[in-house]
Amino acid sequence: MKFKIILLFSFANTALFVQGQENKNNMNPFFSTYQTPYQVPPFDLIKNEHFKPALLEGIKQQEAEILAITSNKENPTFDNTIVALEKSGKLLSKVNTVFNNLNGANTNDELQAIAKEVAPILAEHSDNINLNDALFKRIKIVWDQQSNLQLNQEEKKLLENTYKRFVRNGANLNTSQKERLRAINSELAILTLKYGQNVLAETNKYELIISNKNELVGLPESVIAAAAAEAKGKGKEGKWIFTLSNASVMSFLQYSANRQLRKEIWNAYQLRSNNNNDNDNKILAIQMANLRREKAQLLGYKSHAAYVLELSMAKNPEKANQLLLDLWKPALKMAKKEEADIKAMLVKDGIQDEVQPYDWRYYVEKIRKERFNLDEQELKPYFSLEQTREGIFTVVKKLYGLSFTQLNNVPVYHPDVTAWEVKEANGTPIGLLYMDFHPRNSKRGGAWMTSYRAQSTENKTRILPIISIVCNFTKPTSTTPSLLTFDEVSTFFHEFGHALHGLLSQVTYESLSGTNVPRDFVELPSQIMENWAAEPEVLKLYTKHFKTGETIPDELISKMQKVGTFDQGFATTEYLAASLLDMAYHTQTSNITSTSEDFEKNTLNELGLPKSIISRYRSTYFNHIFSGGYSAGYYSYIWSGVLDTDAFEVFKSTSLFNPEKAKSFRINILEKGGTEDPMLLYKAFKGAEPSVEPLLKKRGLK
């Protein structure tokens, strides 16, 4: 009798649970079609509590979809296997995209805790698909009979990518090897997440609080005002706070005459996640590098870099390394000349010390003023965020005919975010673009483009992409708008180039759309956009003084042009150092047994990096390679640099807005996504393979 009572209670509770779960699902916005413009995520309705159940339900649904494929009694075909797999997991993708984007751009403690909890679950789910023997058997049957299938180019690429994805993710491994691969993937998922969270915590943790106005000597009024606004926002009115957000720390290093304070904030910056506390990444970096090496060798590759670069334009680490080393020697030579100039300025100031990293930006700015009579502060008033945005819109309209209209009826995930409808010249909608510009504690550093929905085609209807660009530009104050340095202007143009790659995509399958291309090709659309930013003809289109409305004068443009390759030795050397450090970590063929500090030090000493310059990213805050998907791929910026300078010459040698060339770049590069080999796409645009000469000339290395 007691047993029956327990059962009755059990059934009653189950019924209540199911009913409660249904009610809960009905309130979860992920479980229904978004009733919003462009069907954007309803950020105003989405709560943290919605993510985990939606992710778990997404996993459950995709498991059922995979089971339907593997239990299909019909012979495997392109449609019932490859396309069916491509279309699976819609809910999971829908939820995970929003979750990951918010965790990067507007995170909180609860989101980070959920991320830690679900990371191994998602890794396991991915492995369950990639290591599904029955599924791979069907894929291989289709792959083996591809010559008889009469597939078009995009279908061939989807089949190739699908087959290679499974092989590269362990489909051919034996049972014990698969178990080890699962363990590695699970551990890497957790470590990758932890690494990024540690960097964010360290960045948010530090504040340089200044109470004495005399310690602000050298800093421009706009920088001082921004620091005062930061202090006021933190309840410390009457003081000035400088943080490790790029806009704050770099401005301080560039202008502060107080060498001791420059040293203090510099050390905080370059020792992020290297302070022997809970946010330390020294051990994590080594663990990840070793796990990646083990995984690559388990899959039959010599190193992680060999594994990653197999599908890149470079094809192998030797070729990527060769490009880096070919540029290293002339870049280092130029950097040493620049260091000598700084040393002379130090002596002039009565400082006998050697040039330190925290001296570089300060004295470079002084040399720029002395040599070219150009103060970066002269430029900033002409580069308000709003004017720069309108300038980019103008460039894009002249190149591709696109228009941008701000929408105020679209949910956004933070008050700083704006939403823009993008249309063709004839009024046809292209997609929706979010823009999120200013630093905050809930946002990781840097700048990036992402998507909330990638472009695809269903039933001959183009599914419109929802794209977002996220940056960390100087905030406006009560008296001035957000005024950008020219580096920030270039970053804005850069990320907008990525956005165009996502917005203009014209493919059938989502996994091939937009920026789903090899890592060393994906930076071409972004980096080529930077070239328009500094052209005199273009500067006249978008630069207006925020107070007077005056267009930037010819004199200032002339000074900008004369600066040319100034400080490019430093910029190229610090970048190459980071790229070579990345390759060093990921070309190892056995476990790294040293500390990350020693590994980094030995690598850079062998290259001959001067002590006055450090790697652009050090091992403990190198988010690109340890938390951002660029492992063995940071070289891709310079690889794409070869492409973008070569491609821009096509415009430069004719006209900046050559309609024929713009159409060709759009059709052959921006619209094609990953549907063809990138070199074939580039040659279809240019008519020839790229030359390294324009890059050498641009950076003054020739």
Higher-confidence residue of 477 and 385: namely: 385
Q: What value does the mean pLDDT take over residues 291-320?
A: 97
Amino acid type, 110: E
What gap in Å lies between CA 98 and CA 20, rounded to an integer?
25
pTM listed for this prediction: 0.93
List 65, 365, 495, 523, catalytic entry = 495
pLDDT confidence bin for 131, thresholds 50/70/90: very high
Q: What value does the mean pLDDT take over residues 493-500?
A: 98
Residue 573 near residue 316 (C-beta atoms within 8 A): no
Largest CA-CA distance found in the chain, in angstroms, rounded? 97
pLDDT score of 22 more than 90: no
pLDDT score of 16 more than 50: no
pLDDT score of 571 more than 90: yes
User: Which letter does DSSP use for residue 349 in this model?
Assistant: T
Q: What value does the mean pLDDT take over residues 338-351?
A: 96
Place of tokens 């490790």: 244
- Specify the pLDDT at position 702: 79
Q: What value does the mean pLDDT take over residues 490-514?
A: 98
User: Which letter does DSSP use for residue 219 in this model?
Assistant: -
- Specify the pLDDT at position 418: 98
pLDDT score of 55 more than 90: yes
Residue 664 near residue 494 (C-beta atoms within 8 A): no
Q: What value does the mean pLDDT take over residues 434-461?
A: 97
Across the chain, mean pLDDT equals: 95
pLDDT confidence bin for 17, thresholds 50/70/90: very low
Of the chain, the percentage scoring pLDDT greater than 70 comes to: 96
Question: Alpha-carbon dihedral of residues 571, 572, 575, 581, nearest 10 degrees?
Answer: -140
What gap in Å lies between CA 419 and CA 36, rounded to an integer?
13
- Specify the pLDDT at position 26: 66
pLDDT score of 15 more than 90: no
What gap in Å lies between CA 425 and CA 458, rounded to an integer?
24
Q: Would you call 221 a catalytic residue per the annotation?
A: no
pLDDT score of 9 more than 50: no
What gap in Å lies between CA 499 and CA 9, rounded to an integer?
56
Of the chain, the percentage scoring pLDDT greater than 90 comes to: 94
Strand partners, 456: 463
What residue ranges define each of the domains in the chain, with the CATH number in brackets?
Answer: 34-161 (1.20.1050.40), 206-270 (no CATH), 282-374+569-626 (1.10.1370.10), 381-554 (1.10.1370.40)
How would you class 208 by CB atoms within 10 Å of its CB: exposed for 0-12, middle for 13-18, buried for 19 or more?
A: buried
Residue 472 near residue 446 (C-beta atoms within 8 A): yes
User: Which letter does DSSP use for residue 76 in this model?
Assistant: P
What gap in Å lies between CA 177 and CA 297, rounded to an integer?
11
Tokens of 204: 């948010």
pLDDT confidence bin for 25, thresholds 50/70/90: low
- What angle in degrees, to the nearest 10, is found between the helix axes of 282-298 and 175-205? 160
pLDDT tens per residue across span 384-422: 999 999 999 999 999 999 999 999 999 999 999 999 999
- Specify the pLDDT at position 553: 96
pLDDT score of 19 more than 60: no
pLDDT tens per residue across span 585-597: 999 999 999 999 9
The sign of the dihedral angle between the CA atoms of 682, 683, 687, 691 is positive
**Ranges of H-type helices in 310-402:** 317-348, 357-372, 376-379, 385-400
Residue 146 near residue 156 (C-beta atoms within 8 A): yes
Residue 59 near residue 125 (C-beta atoms within 8 A): yes
> Which residues, other chains included, contact 4 with Cβ-Cβ below 8 Å and sequence gap of 6+?
none
- Specify the pLDDT at position 478: 86
- Specify the pLDDT at position 24: 52
pLDDT score of 631 more than 50: yes
